[in-house]
């Protein structure tokens, strides 16, 4: 009983001490209202869309998408052009033609939009090395 009281008092004292510390005049004073607001930091550049990143993982991912339609095996391709093993320059040139509106197609003109030259070259190189 007595011990409980002592502990209770000790807890109360600690709690009060905490309150006092929080209100102590040594706490940082609020910034004076006259201080002009700091100039806003320059906005960070917007993140690059994934289609412009030529990291190996991203190129593998993009090439994987191409290979969903452009099968690697003639038997599964069903008339679809096979890209795997083709010359990288030939793949890239055809891709750019779709992208730049110089070649017609059912779907490639849409797919090719948004891939910059760095990605086109990297994906084409990847596909040319795919067997």
Q: Which residues bind ligand HEC (CB under 6 A)?
A: 62, 65-66, 68-70, 81, 83, 91, 94-95, 105-108, 111, 123
Nearest-approach distance from CB 120 to ligand HEC, in angstroms: 7
For ligand HEC, give the closer residue by CB, 4 or 89: 89
Residues 6+ apart with CB under 8 A from 83: 66, 67, 70, 91, 127, 128, 130
**Phi, psi torsion values for 118, nearest 5 degrees:** -60, -45
Taking the complex as a whole, the smallest distance from the CB of residue 123 to ligand HEC amounts, in Å, to 5
Q: How far is the CB of 119 from ligand HEC (least distance, A)?
A: 8
Residue number with CB closer to ligand HEC (22 or 107): 107
Task: Point out the residue whose Cβ comes nearest to ligand HEC.
Answer: 105
Q: Judge whether 51 and 65 are in contact, CB under 8 Å.
A: no
CA distance 102 to 54: 25
- The distance of closest approach from Cβ of residue 103 to ligand HEC in the complex, given in angstroms and rounded to an integer, is 8
H/E element, 45: none
Q: What is the C-alpha radius of gyration for the chain, rounded to an integer number of angstroms?
A: 32
- In the bound state with ligand HEC, the residue whose beta carbon lies nearer, of 108 and 116, is 108
**Which distant-in-sequence residues (6+ apart) come within 8 Å of 32 by Cβ?**
none
Task: Pick the closer one to ligand HEC by CB: 3 or 131.
Answer: 131
């Amino acid at each position: 009983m007595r011990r409980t009281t002592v502990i209770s008092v000790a807890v109360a004292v600690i709690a009060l001490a905490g309150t006092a510390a929080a209100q102590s005049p040594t706490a940082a004073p609020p910034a004076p209202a006259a201080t002009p607001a700091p100039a806003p930091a320059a906005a960070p550049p917007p993140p690059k869309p994934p289609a412009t990143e030529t990291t190996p993982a991203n190129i593998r991912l993009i090439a994987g998408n191409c290979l969903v339609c452009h099968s690697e095996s003639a038997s599964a391709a069903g008339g679809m052009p096979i890209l795997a093993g083709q010359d990288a320059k030939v793949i890239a040139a055809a891709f750019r033609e779709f992208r730049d509106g110089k070649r017609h197609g059912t779907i490639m003109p849409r797919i090719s939009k948004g891939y910059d030259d760095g990605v086109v070259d990297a994906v084409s190189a990847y596909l040319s090395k795919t067997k």
